[in-house]
Chains A and B, each alone.
Chain A
Amino acid sequence: MLTEIRWHGRGGLGVVTAAELVAYASILKGYYALAFPEFGAERRGAPVTAYNRISDRVLSDRSPVLEPDIVVVLDPTMVRRETLRGLKRGGLVVANATKKPRELAELLGPEYRYATVDATRIALEIFRLPIVNTVMTAALATAAGIVDVDHLLEAVRARFSERVAKLNELAIRRAYESVEVA
């Protein structure tokens, strides 16, 4: 088993942390996992890409993922066809969008599967900041099943201070309830 994920967003949305949390959660589940960003200068608002490889075997290849099984898009303005380049046929798009999965299929093509969540709204309600990363990890967990929400919660508790972890736990639970999968 090998699942390759590519994350898209902008500096400040927590893209790299999202990929790292998913790797932690996968490792907690007993998988071997890698998380790494498209290394570059870190600037707020600039496009950021990050990757996960998750497997039940030890992985040696740490080159960028070119043909992902899943693409996660954290910034609604990046939910575009070109963001999906290389995504395998039948692959999954997990998007921060107010649109329904069915609407995205019309917009971006029927050859992929879609899951959507209004992550910005959830993040603004809980954090009062549009930091959507943990919301999107929960959407990924719900839609793809590769990682479990319980392991994500454990990863969040290991990563953040108690106060921040509590808010993120809330965000994850909220996302879990509101993600729509086609």
Chain B
Amino acid sequence: MVEKLAEFVANGELDAEFIHVESEHSALSAVVGASAAGARVFTATSSQGLLLMYEIMHIASSIRLPVVMSIATRAISAPINIWCDHSDFMAASDSGWIMLMGMNAQEAHDLVIAAYRIAEDPRVLLPVAVGYDGFWISHTVEPVYVLEKEEALRYAPKRVTWRALDPEKPVTMGPLASPEWYFEFRVQLQKAIEGSRGAISEALREFGQHFGREYREVDGFYTDDADVVLVAMGSVTGTAIPFAEEARKAGLRVGVVNVRLFRPFPEEEVFKHLENAKVVAVVDRAINPGSPFVGPLYSDVAVTAFKRGLDIPVLNYVTGLGGRAVLRSHLEAMVKHAYGFVGKRMRDVETHYGFVGVRE
């Protein structure tokens, strides 16, 4: 992505300052500085690079700078592995950024444009990360409608909506906050990301009005009458949708939920698709080692169900780590396993998680 942007800048197609830096830590620091000066900024990374940015991610969100970043989601070392999973994305999910996940290259493109509308909305002023699966999306050739500059700017006009540095009116950003003040800043950040939901909805809806491609925080497919609802993020949902259609022909009532907005987690929108299910099967592409939930997407979905008193088995299937392909047969194995829990309650479930497509 950055190589293409370098080309656009070199060809004069994109009027931007292209800053070369020596590391991801510096890359995010540079865009934080530029954003603080009132610039519209962008950077992109993956895997170890994102981990190196992690420190500065918190600074971007805490200073409330509308930084936009793409993450081609990839595994984390060791062992070294450059391929897809969601370990990097999930590791960054507590950093106060709004996080979106695309399920194809078109979304990887469109959601970045929407991200500027969201980030720079004066009601929001938070950084936004747009994830898309490393390799499965980042290195696949497929058709994409690329927005014209003018139409993109009509949807997301460039104006400095945040408090930018100004030598005439000096301010200090991110100075020391003693115990007397620090807590208030953290609560403000929590309130800001919670309060961003309306602006996110609006930005996604208006994207549809402008360009004819409507995105929602969450998509549901065949969830009205589903026995087993698969909840997933990223390209796996693209495999799950045709799988569900096939499974239904074979008498398995499968529904699919695609979680496009991960932070703030769209509980209400996810729950709508769970309430008629008999079993929920959450597909995770990352492990949170030693946690009681195992998969990070699972924790959010399980809490969503628990908070609303939905007492059905919510199961976790971890798959596709380090670039391993997730096949329809893997999804079929999950659904068949999940069917064994129809009619049960969560307390009847002895082991709530399993690994699919791995040698054990």
**Does A138 sit within 8 A of B, measured CB to CB?**
no
Residue of B nearest to A23 (CB): B141
Cα of A19 to Cα of B112 in the assembled complex, Å:
28
**Does B142 sit within 8 A of A, measured CB to CB?**
yes
Q: Are A36 and B242 in contact (CB under 8 A)?
A: no
- A positions within 8 Å CB-CB of B: 19-20, 23-24, 27, 32-37, 39, 59-64, 66
**Does B165 sit within 8 A of A, measured CB to CB?**
no
> In the assembled complex, how far is the CB of residue B162 from the closest CB belonging to chain A, in whole angstroms?
37
Residue of A nearest to B104 (CB): A60
Cα of A149 to Cα of B57 in the assembled complex, Å:
49
Cα of A117 to Cα of B135 in the assembled complex, Å:
32
> In the assembled complex, how far is the CB of residue A150 from the closest CB belonging to chain B, in whole angstroms?
18
List chain B residues, Cβ under 8 A from A36. Answer: 135-136, 139-141
Residue of B nearest to A26 (CB): B143
The interface residues of chain B, by DSSP majority, are classed as: loop
List chain B residues, Cβ under 8 A from A60. Answer: 103-104, 237-239, 241-242
Cα of A33 to Cα of B325 in the assembled complex, Å:
19
Question: Can you list 15 A-B pairs, Cβ within 8 angstroms, ordered by A?
Answer: A19-B141, A33-B142, A34-B141, A35-B142, A36-B140, A60-B103, A60-B238, A60-B242, A61-B242, A62-B136, A62-B137, A62-B140, A62-B235, A63-B239, A63-B325
List chain A residues, Cβ under 8 A from B135. Answer: 36, 39
Q: Are B141 and A62 in contact (CB under 8 A)?
A: no
> In the assembled complex, how far is the CB of residue B95 from the closest CB belonging to chain A, in whole angstroms?
28
Q: Are A61 and B238 in contact (CB under 8 A)?
A: yes
Cα of A20 to Cα of B139 in the assembled complex, Å:
10
Cα of A115 to Cα of B83 in the assembled complex, Å:
35
Query: How many residues in B have their beta carbons less than 8 Å from beta carbons of A?
Result: 23
- B positions within 8 Å CB-CB of A: 83, 103-104, 135-137, 139-143, 235, 237-239, 241-243, 323, 325-328
Known contacts A60-B242, A63-B325; A37/B139 CB under 8 A = yes
Q: Are A64 and B238 in contact (CB under 8 A)?
A: no
The interface residues of chain A, by DSSP majority, are classed as: mixed
List chain A residues, Cβ under 8 A from B235. Answer: 62
> In the assembled complex, how far is the CB of residue A30 from the closest CB belonging to chain B, in whole angstroms?
10
List chain B residues, Cβ under 8 A from A19. Answer: 141
**Sample of 15 further A-B pairs with CB below 8 A, known A60-B237, A62-B136:** A23-B141, A23-B142, A24-B141, A27-B143, A33-B141, A33-B142, A33-B143, A34-B142, A35-B140, A35-B142, A36-B135, A60-B104, A61-B328, A62-B235, A64-B327
Give the residue among A24, A37, A39 with the most B Cβ atoms within 10 A.
Answer: A39
Cα of A27 to Cα of B106 in the assembled complex, Å:
14
List chain A residues, Cβ under 8 A from B143. Answer: 27, 32-33
> In the assembled complex, how far is the CB of residue A22 from the closest CB belonging to chain B, in whole angstroms?
9
Residue in A23, A27, A39, A66 whose CB lies within 8 Å of B139: A39
Q: Are B327 and A63 in contact (CB under 8 A)?
A: yes
Cα of A39 to Cα of B142 in the assembled complex, Å:
16
> In the assembled complex, how far is the CB of residue A12 from the closest CB belonging to chain B, in whole angstroms?
18
List chain B residues, Cβ under 8 A from A33. Answer: 141-143
> In the assembled complex, how far is the CB of residue A31 from the closest CB belonging to chain B, in whole angstroms?
9
List chain A residues, Cβ under 8 A from B103. Answer: 60
Cα of A39 to Cα of B325 in the assembled complex, Å:
10
List chain A residues, Cβ under 8 A from B140. Answer: 34-36, 62
> In the assembled complex, how far is the CB of residue B104 from the closest CB belonging to chain A, in whole angstroms?
7
List chain A residues, Cβ under 8 A from B327. Answer: 63-64, 66
Give the residue among A35, A61, A63, A66 with the most B Cβ atoms within 10 A.
Answer: A63
> In the assembled complex, how far is the CB of residue A152 from the closest CB belonging to chain B, in whole angstroms?
14
Cα of A68 to Cα of B240 in the assembled complex, Å:
19
